[in-house]
Amino acid sequence: MNQFINAKENLVIEAIDGMLKHSGGQLARLDGYPHIKVVLRNDWDRNNVALISGGGSGHEPSHAGFVGKGMLTAAICGEVFASPSVDAVLAGILAVTGSKGCLLIVKNYTGDRLNFGLAAERARALGLKVNMVIVDDDIALPDLPQARGVAGTLFVHKIAGALSESGAALETITDAATKVVKGTASIGMSLDSCTVPGNKKDNRIPYGKAELGLGIHGEPGIEQVDFSGAKNAMTIVAGRLAKIIDGGSHVALVNNLGSATPLEMSVIVDELLKSQIGEQIQLVIGPAPLMTSLDMHGFSISLLPVSEDEVKALVESVGCSAWPGCHEVQSVKIKPLPESLKTEKPVPSSDAKHREFIEKCCQLFISVESVLNTLDQKSGDGDTGSTLATAGRALMTSIDNLPQADITQLYQAISQELSTAMGGSSGVLLAIFFAAAGDASASGGEINNSLEAGLKRIKEVGGAQLGDRTMIDALEPALERLPLGLSEAAKAAREGADRTSKIGRAKAGRASYIAEEQLIGNNDPGAEAVALLFEHLASE
C-alpha cells in the first residue's frame, strides 16, 4: 500500500517535527534524536505536578497531540507500536518534574510498564517524587489477568490535567487518576486491519465481517462477527459494555481508530445514543481520532461514570487542538422552515395508470443503484445510482399524497418532491425538468410537448447540449422518437447512451474534470440511467 512517508526509519521523527512546526510555538522537544523523542510544553515552569504519558507511535494524536495546558506536560514517543526506551522516559521526567513531582500515565502493556517503571525508579533515586498509574480499560478479554490500556487513557489525561492545572498535590491527582482507571470500560470494533509502515497488510477480516475487541497495535480481536451496518455493530458493542457498567450517568468517549469517515463516526454516535445504554450517557467526547491504530477502519467506545467534579474537569478548555471537547447530550432541536419554502400541498388523487407508471420508474432506479454507482466511479463521484435511488424511494413513500389524476399538478408535485429529496446537480435538473413540464402542461401542451419543454429548460439552465456526454445524449433522442412509441424511444435512448462511451472529453458535469482514458469505453451514468429507464418501460 502506498503511503505518504519517506523512509520508515525516519517516520516518527519527521512527524514530530512537522507537528512542532505548526504548534504555534506551544510545544518543543528535547534534544537526543532519534533515540530520545520527548515532546513537552514550551511554557512549563515546574510549579505544578507534571503529567507524563506516552508509548509507541501510530496512535496519533495520542500522545504528543495532548501535550498542552490542562492536559499532558510531556509525551514520550516510541517507534511505531514500540515502547520508548528507559532513557527516553527518564529524560522526560527530569526535564519537567519540579518539587511537586510527576505522575506517569502508562497503558497496560509489558514494554510500557517495564520501561516507564524502571525510569520512575531511577528518577526516585535522584530524589524526585514520581507516581505511576496503569490504565487497563479494555474489556474485550474479560479472562485476561491484565487488561490492555486503550482509549480510556484519555479520561485520565483530561481529569488529571485539570487537577494539575488547578495546583492539586501529587497524591490527590494520583488518587483521582486511579479512580478513573477503575471506572473506565472500553471496547473497539473494526472492519479492517491497519497498515504498519514497511509491512504487508494483514487482510484477515473478510467482507461482511467485523472484528470485535481488537487492540490498538493491530492485534486480532476476540472474535469476528457478522456485520450488516452501524446499528448492528453498535448493538454488539453496547451489549458488551452493558454487562460491565453500573447504573447512573456516564461520559462516552467515541474514538475513531484511524480511517472511519466523519460521516460514519456521526452515525456511530447516533446509534450509541439510541442503544440500550444510550440513556445512561450524559456527555460525549468526540467523535474524533483520539487513540488511533494507524489507518484502522474502526471505532472504540469508552465509558466512565462521572461525578460532578469529574464533569467539571472534563468540560474545561485545554491548550491542545487535538482535544475535541466534552459536550452534553441533548435532543435534536428542530426549527420550522422559512415561510417562503412552505408551499401549498396539492390535493391527493388517484389514477391507476399514472400510479403504475411512477412505481415502475421508481422501482427501476432503486434496482440499478449499484450498477450506476459503479459506472459513475469511472467518471464522477460514484453516487449517480444512490441519488436516483433516493428519488425513487422518496416518490414511493409519498405516492399516496400525489395528485395522480391531474397531470399538470402531478408534474409540479414531482418537481417539489425531487427538489426536497434529491441532492446534487441531477436532482436540481430533474426538478427543473418536471417544473417546466408542468408549466407547459398548464398551458395546454400534450405530454410529448410538455416533456420537450422540460428538456429545453434543463439544457438552458444546465448548459449541456447533445454530444456533451450527459444524460441529454440519451434523453433528447428518446423524446424525439417517443411519438413513435416506447420501443422506438428506448432504442434511441440506448444508442445515445452507448455513443457517450466514445466521447473522451465531457463538456459538462463532473466528467469534464476526468482524463480521457478514464472515460473512453464507459457510458455516461446519467445517459445510461435514461436508457435503462426507457428500456424498462418498453419491456412491460
Residues 368 and 438 in one domain: yes
User: Residue 497 maps to which CATH number?
Assistant: 1.25.40.340
Residues 390 and 310 in one domain: no
Residue 380 falls within a domain, yes or no? yes
Residue 511: is its pLDDT beyond 60?
no
Number of helical H runs and strand E runs in the chain: 18, 13
Residues 62 and 89 in one domain: yes
Query: Residue 343: what pLDDT?
Result: 62
Q: How big is the chain, counted in residues?
A: 540
Residue 171 falls within a domain, yes or no? yes
Query: Residue 319: what pLDDT?
Result: 93
Residues 308 and 349 in one domain: no
Residue 20 falls within a domain, yes or no? yes
Summarize the chain as % helix, strand, coil (round to 5).
Answer: 45, 15, 40
- CB count in 10 Å sphere of residue 428: 16
DSSP secondary structure code for residue 46 in this structure: S
Residues 387 and 300 in one domain: no
Residue 309: is its pLDDT beyond 70?
yes
Conformation bin of residue 156: beta by default, left when phi > 0, alpha when psi is -120 to 50: alpha
Secondary element (H or E) of residue 189: strand 185-190
Query: Residue 512: what pLDDT?
Result: 54
- Tell me how far the alpha carbon of residue 97 is from its chain's centroid: 39
User: Residue 161 maps to which CATH number?
Assistant: 3.40.50.10440
Residues 15 and 41 in one domain: yes
What's the mean pLDDT in 369-374? 93
Residue 64: is its pLDDT beyond 50?
yes
Q: Which three cell numbers stand for residue 529?
A: 440511467
Residue 1 falls within a domain, yes or no? no
- Contacts of 149 by beta carbon, 8 Å cutoff, 6+ apart: 106, 107, 108, 109, 112, 134, 135, 136, 137, 138
Whether 534 and 493 have beta carbons less than 8 Å apart is answered as yes
Residues 395 and 249 in one domain: no
Residues 307 and 426 in one domain: no
What's the mean pLDDT in 486-492? 94
Band of pLDDT at residue 509, cut at 50, 70 and 90: low
Residues 384 and 524 in one domain: yes
The parent domain of residue 303 ranges over 8-195+202-328
Residue 324 falls within a domain, yes or no? yes
Out of 328, 350, 372, a domain closes at 328
Q: What mean pLDDT value characterizes the chain?
A: 91
Out of 328, 355, 377, a domain closes at 328
- CB count in 10 Å sphere of residue 162: 23
Residue 513: is its pLDDT beyond 50?
no
Residue 274 falls within a domain, yes or no? yes
pLDDT in tens, 337-346: 887 766 667 7
Terminal Cα distance for the chain, rounded = 48
Domain count, the chain: 2
Residues 103 and 166 in one domain: yes
Query: Residue 342: what pLDDT?
Result: 62
Residue 85 falls within a domain, yes or no? yes
- CB count in 10 Å sphere of residue 480: 16
Known catalytic residue at 217: yes
Residues 406 and 446 in one domain: yes
Separation in Å, CA 498 to CA 29, 130, 379, 474, 492: 61, 74, 15, 9, 10
Lowest-confidence region among 87-91, 131-135, 310-314, 438-442: 438-442
Out of 328, 359, 379, a domain closes at 328
Residue 447 falls within a domain, yes or no? yes
Band of pLDDT at residue 508, cut at 50, 70 and 90: low
- Pick the catalytic residue from 59, 217, 297, 354: 217
Residues 319 and 346 in one domain: no
